[in-house]
Amino acid sequence: MREKYFSTNSEVKIQAIKIAFSLFLGGLFFVANGQNLQEIGKIKAFKLHGNIGASATYYTSNEAVSTRPPWSWNVYGNFSPEVYGIALPASFVINQFGNSYTLPFAQFGISPTYKWAKLHIGYRSIRMSPLVFDGQSFKGAGIELNPGIIRFAAFYGRLNKKIDEDTIAGRFTQPQFSRIGYGAKIGVGNRRHYFDLIYFYAKDDTTSASVINKTKIQSQENTVLGASFKTTIIKKFILEGDLAASGITDDLSSTRVDSIKGGLFENILFRLMPFNTSTSVHFGGQASLSFALKNYNTSLGYRRVEPGFKSLGTPYMQNDVELINWANNLNLIKGKVNISASASNQHNNLNKNLTSQLNTFVSSLNVNATPDPKVNLNFDYSGYLINQKDGTMKLGDSIRLNQQVHQFGLSPSYSIFKSTLTHTISGNISYMMLNDKNPATAPTTSSHNLSSFVDYTIGLAKSGISLSVGGSYNNYVQDTNRYSTYGVNVGSSGMFLKKQNLNVQLTAGYMINQSSFGNTESNLTVSGSVGYRYNKHSITLNANYIYTPYNPINEVIEKAMSKVVASQNLMVSLAYNYSF
């Protein structure tokens, strides 16, 4: 049975590679023969650049609960061919993790370009607007045209593939309908000034997925209208923004409605898609104004997305949010000192119908100074204020979220460069404080954390060998609990052979962990890698080993385990890459 499985798996992998290669050649032939190559005599007929490679990883551990599979593999390729100046970028990835089942996963797409035209075939993505269609790939075809001041883009394809409910693998798999979508963008302008109108539509195929146990999944339909703009004023001020109105049907099985009451956009969307009792229309928008000088630039941004706003073309967008942010960057002393600072404030509950409102204020400051080529000093700060306000319900102090988080960091370094030796001393110290003002939760959440390390590296310039040694210390305090970790790390790397194309690295670390519970633990980490490069070929071998000695107190803490032993984890990976 095992032999049959691997045989089938190998056949699928070979078939996937054949299909991807055939699509690549087909797209190459189509574009090369479909264009009017006016400069055919002046351009080299064919160029090909890219890389192809594969890797395999082995992992073993004596721990009772395995955290990763013993074997994993990956095959990839990136191609950048040119036919008489026409670029045809393509790529593919195949591995055993890309599918919910046991079959390998393969995605392939090409985006040939010629002057102001670009064609998309296969698995591709087009950015139209961060509120309408962005961050969502499709399997289909698309086109982008930018002749002069005209800006046009369109696509059609599958956004989501169907997923049938799995009852064989022994675990629940959430079913999913296949989703088809299309969109278009048309506008005028250039990089400094433009105005675009965007349209997007998507709908689930309710007959596509098999739901054996009648798991409730809702099919959706969505139409979004949007606009994007940008204008540059006297080369110093840049105003840009995005607006969108989205009509979303959350359940296609709901009762159809024949008329609606609403404004202009509601009536427009009603004519573009059928409405039912689960359909709603919401709005979103954002804008920013930036100002730039030689050594200083600043920007002020505003974003408001209504509760319920959703576009099936922007899968990770947050709604019910109003945000104001301000960012600055300043260069001083001919660039030797750089200061950047930002602040943002956001809240939800825009419709005032939630039980509470969450306000978040975030600020940051970073100062980087290089007074001398040998010296670098970096300081950074970030702060987070999280406060919960009353909504439709009056909140007591014992249930109100009210926290402050402050983080400070300082990173100095000093280097000495000589013809034969280089010396570098670097370090970092950081401090984080969480202050909870809720009297009920403060004892279990308020904490302080101090982390630090120092490292010294010496490099032999001619031989390409470097040696390093460092130490670290971490201390975490929460209520009466205290955890400390300290240890040392040593490492070495070198380039060998006549052409220095053999790279060897070896590191080892020993850490001691202490806590207020009274137990002391330690672990040893050893890792190494060997890489060899010959012309366009490279091969790399990596190994990592972690050993944690046996500690009797773990048998009390981890009662669920039948036996606690000294843990050992080993990971070995082998990778090959060919560049052309």
Nearest Cα to Cα of residue 573 among 508, 536, 529, 537: 529
pLDDT tens for 305-317 read: 999 999 999 988 9
On whether both 240 and 96 belong to a single domain, the answer is no
Length of the chain: 580
Q: Please say which residue of 300, 319, 338 terminates a domain.
A: 319
Does 386 reside within a domain? no
Does 417 reside within a domain? no
On whether both 78 and 146 belong to a single domain, the answer is no
Distance CA 58, CA 81 (A): 34
Does 329 reside within a domain? no
- Whether 559 has a pLDDT exceeding 50, the answer reads no
More confident residue, 538 or 498: 538
Does 98 reside within a domain? yes
Spacing of C-alpha 452 from chain mean position:
28
CB atoms within 10 A of CB 247: 23
> Which residues have CB under 8 Å from 534's CB, separation 6+?
501
On whether both 48 and 172 belong to a single domain, the answer is no
Q: How much is the pLDDT for 425? A: 97
Q: How confident is the model at residue 117 (pLDDT cuts 50, 70, 90)?
A: very high
Contact 116, 152 (CB under 8 A): no
Domain count, the chain: 2
Q: How much is the pLDDT for 558? A: 45
On whether both 133 and 281 belong to a single domain, the answer is yes
- Whether 122 has a pLDDT exceeding 70, the answer reads yes
pLDDT tens for 399-450 read: 999 999 999 999 999 999 888 899 999 999 999 999 999 999 999 899 999 9
CATH of residue 181's domain is 2.40.160.100
Q: How confident is the model at residue 197 (pLDDT cuts 50, 70, 90)?
A: very high
Which runs of E-coded beta strand occur in 306-355?
Answer: 321-332, 337-347
Average pLDDT over all residues of the chain: 86
Q: Please say which residue of 253, 285, 319 terminates a domain.
A: 319
Average pLDDT over residues 97-114: 60
Residue range(s) defining the domain that contains residue 155:
116-319
3-state secondary structure of 309: coil
Q: How confident is the model at residue 89 (pLDDT cuts 50, 70, 90)?
A: confident
pLDDT tens for 24-47 read: 444 444 443 334 434 555 667 788
- Whether 223 has a pLDDT exceeding 70, the answer reads yes
Burial (CB count <10 Å: 0-12, 13-18, 19+), residue 124: buried
Average pLDDT over residues 286-302: 97
On whether both 127 and 195 belong to a single domain, the answer is yes
Q: How much is the pLDDT for 98? A: 56
Single-letter amino acid code for the residue at 125: S
Does 409 reside within a domain? no
On whether both 45 and 169 belong to a single domain, the answer is no
On whether both 87 and 154 belong to a single domain, the answer is no
On whether both 41 and 164 belong to a single domain, the answer is no
Contact 424, 456 (CB under 8 A): yes
- Whether 552 has a pLDDT exceeding 90, the answer reads no
3-state secondary structure of 382: strand
On whether both 144 and 74 belong to a single domain, the answer is no
On whether both 211 and 67 belong to a single domain, the answer is no
Does 467 reside within a domain? no
With pLDDT > 70 as the criterion, what percentage of the chain qualifies? Answer: 84
Contact 132, 313 (CB under 8 A): yes
On whether both 23 and 88 belong to a single domain, the answer is yes
Q: The pTM is what? A: 0.76
Q: What tokens appear for 341 in the block?
A: 């600072």
Q: How confident is the model at residue 106 (pLDDT cuts 50, 70, 90)?
A: low
> Which residues have CB under 8 Å from 189's CB, separation 6+?
149, 151, 195, 196, 230
Question: What is the full DSSP assignment across 225-273?
Answer: EEEEEEEEETTTEEEEEEEEEEEEES-TTSPB-S-----HHHHHHHHHS
CB atoms within 10 A of CB 283: 16
With pLDDT > 90 as the criterion, what percentage of the chain qualifies? Answer: 64
Q: Please say which residue of 110, 128, 153 terminates a domain.
A: 110
β partners of residue 488: 471, 510
Average pLDDT over residues 177-191: 96
Does 180 reside within a domain? yes
On whether both 145 and 161 belong to a single domain, the answer is yes
More confident residue, 178 or 24: 178
CA dihedral 22, 27, 29, 33 (to 10 degrees): 170
Does 481 reside within a domain? no
Q: How confident is the model at residue 475 (pLDDT cuts 50, 70, 90)?
A: very high
Helix (H), strand (E), coil (C) string for 347-409: ECCCCCCCCEEEEEEEEEEEEEEEEECCEEEEEEEEEEEEEEEECCCCCCCCCCCEEEEEEEE
